[in-house]
Structure 1
Amino acid sequence: MSDKRRDGKKPAQSDALLTFKKALLNIKALPKYFFTRYIKKPVPVKSKIVFVVSFPRSGTHAIGSLLSNEKVGFRYYGEFFIFNAWNSQIERINRFYPFFSLRYSLNLRKQRKSWKYYKFETTSLDAHRTMAAIQSLPGIHIIKIFPQHLSDPVLQSIIAEFKPHIIFLRRNHLDRFVSHKKANASGKWHTASTSDLVINLDPREFETFITNYTKFYSDYLHFAKEQGCPILDVDFVDLQNPEKVREIQKFAQFDGFSDWDQLTLAPTTVKQDKSSKVQEDFLAEIGKEISDYNFKAVRI
């Protein structure tokens, strides 16, 4: 199922001016890069990489609100590898990867004009070098990973090399399918209500949707286990459970952290689709229950 991402906002500044400003920032960062690479002695950095491996419309925006807090070291990158998010750390990557933020910025703007999967691998940026640079920065670096963000060989090689902590986030297949269809139909992926939107569901398309995403989840769950990655497998409904939320935050945080009052125990996002009418009509038509489409955890 394709995503039809649209952004109707007009750029505040021309592309040429933005590129010029970004180029100046990248040139300014070069002395730090050369100093770090050739003069400064390596110093151990307290750094941790966390992948949120999931699927569109599964609640990753909500989990992001639980893990976005610079004060406690959480650096949330969002859909970083598909050029669909900007993070304050991107400029700092220049210290270890020259002209990174300039190239990232250019591709982010291109992505917003014309959406394309596997885009990172078509650019001059290297995923492994990027991850090594991020790992050189202090903090907890949380990156959202969906199918089609990176090809399997690249994603698997990154997991094998960097062994990130991985949060697998699942959501009921039908709820996710309906939410995805509504977002595609409306072009609204966040905040705007889609409750009143009427859509038609194709049972065969739905079955393919389930098969493809279940396979991705199962394959990467087993692969991550084989690579020795710490794993936390959670369901969308867990995000409304304060105890589960704290478990997620503890999994992502450094050992020894104690300032938990700085972190919220409930998502700060607004649910776009508060109606279940489309699901109810579809279930009545095919004679199924919503629970028949729960995205069940795989025990490993």
Structure 2
Amino acid sequence: MQQRALTRFAPTPSGFLHLGNIFSFAITNAIAHQSGAELLLRIDDLDRERMRPEYVNDIFETLHFLGIQWKRGPNDAADFEQHFSQLHRTTLYQEKLDQLHNKGLLFACNCSRTQLLADNKEGVYSGRCRHKQIPLNTPGVNLRIYTDDRTIKVNSCDGTQVNTTLHPSMKDFVVRKKDDMAAYQLASLADDIHFGVDLIVRGTDLWPSTLAQLYLADVLEEQTFQDTAFFHHALIPNSNGEKLSKSAGDTSIRFWREKGYAGQAVLSMLARHSGLEKEPASWEALCEAITHCSWFPR
């Protein structure tokens, strides 16, 4: 595995952390250890409609409860709000938007979600506002980027490279939302560049996001991000075989914590859910066990 400088945990405070989140953190921790990368805690809180203070608190409570450590980032919720919230980096996001604007790559879209679903049941953008020339400063519009079929290069942790194109779901994707906040793809890219992240571990469900962010890095000529290594891991399903969602149900760590379970018991539960043969006695033991899985990058 190639040596790397920095990776990150990047939870979104839109719900309580669940087993799937911790599984991803464990893989990130294991790959960081193997590659020599430091760990950054980066909490993505730009979605102000779904963000709640109790969800921010839950991130720190859960990490401490399970014995998970990180090298850089906020120490607690107060430190996060004062120094690390994405609201402190809105100027940085605006700079990226300005660069896209100066390149003539932005267009305004006033489509509602209902209209998008009427055009395509999966919500894939039909391009209905692509040529309307709606002024970019129109209140209450999304700003989208004109996309094309350029080749996108994705570097893997094992040193291999995949050449592909943008996922269909990311055609003309949104870079600034109707509330004037930067959209996830642009903010995540800007943050990773800002902090110097060069290793990203995420679930397979975020493969389209990886391609969108690498697409942005290409048009913005951000070579350091294009050199970033990625690993996309399988997801832990719920009892119905579906992706786990953030909730207060029995997949959330908060649920088991309030039931009186010890951190080691929750880690053992996670090991069983993820198919590990042995139940770990600690966070470090869980991460070590993951390095011996057949799918772990070498």
TM-score, reference length from structure 1: 0.30
TM-score, reference length from structure 2: 0.30
- Pick the structure with more helix per residue: 1
Question: Which has the bigger relative contact order, CA under 8 A and spacing at least 6?
Answer: 1
